[in-house]
Amino acid sequence: MSSLPKCPQCSSEYTYEDRGLLICPECSHEWSGETEEAENSGELTVKDANGNVLQDGDSITVIKDLKVKGSSSVVKVGTKVKNIRLVEGDHNIDCKIDGIGAMKLKSEFVKKL
């Protein structure tokens, strides 16, 4: 009997592994077994724009000008942010930015230092 997980889309038990990916022959869904394990363990996995895994307390750099909602302020490209905190949700980084204050950022607009 195989120890591979069932397909997350169609729940087929006939999954197989090919070059590090798990593949379902019934619905052609492909996924990485690593993300499945991280989801099952209950750990929050957040990756930056380059695919590096972020952790609480990391320092990051903003890679795109970001408008601050409800203000005329802008977070400029290259702004360094220290001591981030990861949270659940769409904006998954909690931080304080000098001159602006507490903010939530999306991980797709930052890179790890």
- Integer Cα distance of 79 and 43 in angstroms: 28
The amino acid sitting at 42 is G
pLDDT for 1? 45
Taking the whole predicted model, whether its pTM rises above 0.75 is answered as: no
Nearest in space to 47 (alpha carbons), one of 60, 32, 33: 60
Pairwise CA distance, residues 84 & 56, whole Å: 6
Q: Which two tokens stand for residue 107?
A: 């991980």
Helix ranges (DSSP H) in 1-113: 33-41
Flag the least confident range among 8-17, 40-49, 53-62, 78-87. Answer: 40-49
